[in-house]
Chains A and B, each alone.
Chain A
Amino acid sequence: MKLTREDLLKSNEYWKVQLQNDLYGIIEEHMKKNNLTRSNLAENLNVTKGYVTQILKGEFDHKISKLIELALACNKVPLTYYVDIDEFVKNDALGKVYEVFPITRMQHVTYESKNPQPQAKPGAKISFDFQSSLATA
C-alpha cells in the first residue's frame, strides 16, 4: 500500500519529526544569536555535550520536562495545542495551515438576555410555554 497524505498526517513519525526539528530550530537559533558553542550550551543546560549533539541532530526523544526546560532556556515557551485529526486532514486537503497568533484576552464578560423576563415574585405560579419557546429558538 502506497503512503497517502492522510496516512502521513496521522502517523507518529510525522509529528515526531516536526517536534524534534522545531526544537532543533529554536536551539540552533539561540546558539547563533548568543554566539554559543555546543560546550557552552551543555554547560548552561547542565547536560552533557553528547546530549546537545543528539538534539542538534534533530533526534530529541526525552521527557516532557526536558523539552520545557530546553525551550525556556532558549527564551521560548513551548506552546502546545491540539486539533481534531480529521479536521486537520480536511483543512490540509483544502490548502489550509494552522498558525498560532495572539488575540486579546476577554475580561469581565457579562451576558445579557435580549428578552429580559420579569422576576417572579416569591410564591407566584410559574408557567412555561414549551411550544412557544421552541418556535422562537
Chain B
Amino acid sequence: MSKFVTKTIETVIGRQQFKQLVIVEDKVDAIRLQQQIDKNEVEIDGVLDVYESNLEDKYKSSFRGMTALMNRVANLQSLPEEKFRDITPDKEIVKEYEIKYQDLRVYLIKIANGKLILLGGFKNNQDSDLKKFRALKRQFLEKGGY
C-alpha cells in the first residue's frame, strides 16, 4: 500500500494552484512529510517529475509545450477541447481532466483552488493510462489526500 502527499509544480504559475501527486511508502509519516514539502525542507519527486525524467530526449520539446498548456489552464486562459478536456465519467463527483500536447498526455483532477496531476501518459497508451489514473484517483480520495 502507498500513501500520498502533494507538491507544487514550480514551472506552472497562475491564478489556480497546480500540484502533482507524490507517492510514498506506507510507513512514511505523510502528514509530517507534507509539512516539510510545504516548507521546502525536503526534495522529493512527484509523479510529474518522474514522468519528465523518464521521457526520451525526443519528447523534451513536447514536454515544454505541455507545461505551457498547464500554465494556460492555471491562468484560466482559452484552450481548445483538443488540448484540455473534461473526461469526468457520469455520476463522478470529483472532476477529471486530460491535457494533451502531441504524443504526451497528463491526467489530473480538480482540487480546492486548482488542479492535481495524478499521472503522465502517452497517446498510444491511453486506455491503460486512464485505468491507472482512475485507480490512483480512487486511492487518493479514499485516503483523504494522505
A16 lies within 8 A of B65 (CB): yes
In the complex, which residue of chain B has the Cβ closest to the Cβ of A14? B68
A21 lies within 8 A of B52 (CB): no
Main DSSP-derived SS at the B contact region: helix
**Number of CB contacts from chain A to chain B under 8 A:** 66
B78 lies within 8 A of A25 (CB): yes
- Bound complex: CA A28 to CA B80 (Å): 9
A5 lies within 8 A of B11 (CB): yes
B67 lies within 8 A of A21 (CB): no
Give a binary string over A75-114; 1 marks a CB under 8 Å from any B CB, 0 the rest.
Answer: 0000000000000000010000000000000000000000
Q: How large is the interface on B (under 10, 10 to 19, 20 to 34, 35 or more residues)?
A: 20 to 34
A13 lies within 8 A of B68 (CB): yes
Main DSSP-derived SS at the A contact region: helix
Q: What are the residues of chain B within 8 A of A58 when measuring CB–CB?
A: 79-80, 82-83
Give a binary string over B2-43; 1 marks a CB under 8 Å from any A CB, 0 the rest.
Answer: 000000001101000000000000000000000000000000
